[in-house]
Amino acid sequence: MPEPSGGLDAVREMIAADAMDRLPGELVRVALSEDAVVSFGFMTSYHDLPAAQRAEQAARDDGAVRRAGAMDPAVVHLSLELVTLLEGLPIPQRERLAIALLEAHERDRVDWLTRSMLDLLGLVCGLPDSDVLAVARRRLLESMSGQAYAYQSWYLEMAEIEVDAGRTLPPAVTAVIRRSAHLHQPSTRLAARLPELALNVGEAWTDRALADLAELPTPWRELLAHAATATASRPTAAWEKAGRRLLRAVGEPDARTTIVSWLALVGQPRTLPVSGLNQVYDPDNAVGLRGLAWMLSFLPPHPDIARALGALVETSLRRIAGHGPRDPKVANAGVVALSRIDGEAALAELAQLATRLTYKGTLKLVDKALAARA
C-alpha cells in the first residue's frame, strides 16, 4: 500500500542515523501538523497493547476507515508503525529523544501543539525505565500541574512508573492525582498508593498549613488528617470525640491561634494556578476546611473563632462567574460550627450573617440557629 506523501521515510532515516536532535521536528510534522500522515488518536489506542491485540485493533480501524471513506487507510498502518518504532527505541535513544522533545516543547511552545506534544512525549517516556527518562517524566508531569485533573491516560502511566520505582512525586502532581480520584477509578487506585496528605498544595492557606506541619508536633498531622474526613453535613458524636482528643493533644490555645491563622488566608489567590479551580476551593481542601471549622466549635468560645468562622462563611458564598457560590458546603460547615458555640461573639456573627447572606440554603441554617437561641 503506498504511503501518503512523505510517509515515515524521514523518521526511519533519523532513527537509523541516531539523529535524535532532529527527530522531534519530524515527529511534529508527521503526527501533529496539517500535513500529518498518522493519526495520534490511533497511536494512543495502540500504545502498550500486546502485538496480537494491536494487529486486531488496526484491522478494525482499517475497516472503519474504509467504510467511512474520509481518510487514507494507510494512516492506520503508519500510526501503528510509528508507535512501534518509538517504543522499540533502545534506552539511550529514547533518553535523547525525550530530552529533545522536552526542550522543543519548552522552547517553541505553541498553544495548539502544546498538549499533543506532551501526549507524544508520554509515548516516549514509558518503560523501560532509566534515570534520564525519570527526569523527563518528572518534567513532563510537572508541566501539566496547572490542570485540575489527569485527563490523559499517559499522565497516570508516567506517575505510576515513578511510584513503582520508589520515587516521590512532586506535591503539585500528587494534587492532580488526588483530585482526579474523585472522577475515575484508575486515579483512585493510584491515589491510594501515594503518601497520605490531608491537603493539596496550591492554595495560600494549605501551603501555610503544610509548611507549619514541618515545625509542629506530630499530633497536628493527625488533626489535619481527621479534618480531611469531614464529609458529612455535621460532626457525628464519634467524629467529635476524636476531634476533641486531637485538640487536647496539640493544646487548645495553640489550636485556636494556628487554625484561625490558616483560615485567615482562605480565599486568597491560588499560589499555583490551576485551570478551572482558580476561584473555587480544591475539592480535597474544601473537606479539610469543613473539618477545621467543626473543630473550632469544640474549643472554648473566643471572639477570634467567631470572626474566623463568619469570614469563612462569607468567603465560601462569594459568587464566582460561571460557577455560582464558591462552596456552600464549606459555608454550611461554618454556620454549623457557629451554632454550636456559646457566647455573644458567635451570636453576633450569626445575626450579621442573617442580614448579609442571600444564598437560601445557608441562610436557612443561620435562621434555624438564631431561632434555637431565641
In DSSP terms, 325 is beta-bridged to 319
State phi, psi for 279 to the nearest 5 degrees.
Answer: -110, -5
What pTM does this model have? Answer: 0.83
Report CA Rg, the chain: 26
- Taking the CA atoms of 357, 362, 367 and 370 in sequence, report the sign of the dihedral they define: negative
Residue-by-residue pLDDT tens, the chain, 374 positions: 444 445 899 999 999 999 999 998 888 888 877 778 888 788 888 887 888 899 999 999 999 999 998 788 999 999 999 989 988 899 999 999 888 888 877 776 654 455 566 777 777 878 778 888 888 888 888 888 888 998 777 788 889 999 999 999 999 999 999 999 988 878 888 999 988 778 999 999 999 999 999 999 999 999 999 999 999 999 999 999 999 999 999 999 999 999 999 999 999 999 999 988 999 999 999 999 999 999 999 999 999 999 999 999 999 999 999 999 999 999 999 999 999 999 999 999 999 999 999 999 999 999 999 999 87
Contact 227, 292 (CB under 8 A): yes
